[in-house]
């Protein structure tokens, strides 16, 4: 997919994209996005769109031999095997997800160097202020942890699930202040025009509600005209 199509997506916000996807009836309206347990930590950063790289981690117990962070250069090789830009999605499979943070300033900087545009996890992250100020990597997580504890990769490349969203390697993802969602690839080039039409109609409704000509009858007619 060319960068122009992804840039066009990133010119929209997540709510507008979700609204547009609903019109195509390609999935149920309660699917395709993370729930409120996963929040955007830096809502002031620009939106991010990229292809999923996936991993599972644990933080509560020591890793097996050979599973230390510095031993897992194979994880980096997997990342660059997925088309750029890349969106990292990590499932914390501990009984208490979020005990430790897998990604902080150092790891976020490495991910940026590997053309990663976002990071999402059902667990925690570290060094949030530094990541925002010095790395600028959008992060989506359940919270922030002071320690990495025993954070280590269990496996990577397999499908994961965070916040109710199932993500497979190379899925197209979009994240902004509203949260993270998956984008059906066949709709990427059609979403901007549909979103623009829906937003134009919403602006008409807002303008009517603020005008002296407002009435329930006029509002009803205008709302129904979008069908």
Q: Quick one: average pLDDT of 2-28?
A: 95
The tokens of 204 are what?
């008409």
CB 177 within 8 A of CB 14: yes
The sign one gets for the Cα dihedral 173, 177, 179, 183 is negative
**Cα dist from 76 to 15, 100, 169, 198, whole Å:** 32, 21, 14, 41
Beta bridge partners of 87: 52, 118
**pLDDT for res 121:** 98
Share above pLDDT 70 across residues of the chain, in percent, rounded to a whole number = 96
Rounded to 5 degrees, what are φ and ψ at 159?
A: -60, 145
Q: Is the pLDDT assigned to residue 225 strictly greater than 80?
A: yes
Q: Which superfamily does 3-183 belong to?
A: Ribonuclease E inhibitor RraA/RraA-like (3.50.30.40)
Q: Quick one: average pLDDT of 209-225?
A: 95
Q: Quick one: average pLDDT of 13-37?
A: 97
**pLDDT confidence of 105, banded at 50, 70, 90?**
very high
**pLDDT for res 119:** 98
Averaged confidence pLDDT in the chain: 94
**pLDDT confidence of 87, banded at 50, 70, 90?**
very high
Helix, strand, coil percentages in the chain from 3-state DSSP, rounded to 5: 35, 25, 40
Q: Quick one: average pLDDT of 205-224?
A: 95
**Cα 145 to chain centroid, rounded:** 20
Query: Could you state, in order of their start, the residue ranges of all structural domains in the chain?
Result: 3-183, 192-224
Point out the least confidently predicted range of 60-64, 201-205, 223-227: 223-227
Residue 127 is inside which H or E element, if any? Answer: none
The tokens of 48 are what?
């991010």
């Amino acid at each position: 997919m060319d960068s122009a199509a992804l840039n066009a997506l990133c010119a929209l916000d997540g709510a507008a994209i979700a609204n547009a996807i609903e019109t195509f009836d390609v999935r149920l309206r309660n699917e395709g996005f993370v729930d409120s347990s996963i929040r955007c930590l830096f809502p002031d950063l620009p939106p991010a769109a990229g292809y999923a790289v996936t991993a599972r981690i644990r933080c509560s117990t020591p890793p097996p031999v050979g599973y230390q962070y510095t031993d897992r250069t194979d994880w980096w090789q997997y990342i660059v095997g997925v088309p750029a830009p890349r969106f990292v999605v990590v499932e914390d499979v501990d009984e208490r997800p979020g005990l430790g943070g897998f990604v902080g300033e150092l790891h976020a900087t490495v991910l940026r160097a590997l053309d990663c545009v976002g990071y999402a996890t059902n667990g925690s992250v570290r060094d949030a202020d530094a990541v925002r100020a010095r790395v600028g990597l959008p992060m989506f997580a359940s919270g922030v942890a002071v320690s990495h504890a025993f954070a280590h990769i269990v496996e990577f490349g397999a499908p994961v699930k965070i916040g109710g969203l199932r993500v497979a390697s190379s899925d197209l993802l979009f994240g902004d202040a509203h949260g993270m969602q998956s984008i059906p690839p066949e709709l990427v080039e059609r979403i901007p025009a549909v979103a623009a039409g829906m937003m134009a109609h919403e602006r008409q409704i807002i303008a009517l509600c603020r005008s002296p000509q407002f009435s329930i009858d006029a509002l009803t007619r205008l709302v129904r005209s979008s069908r």
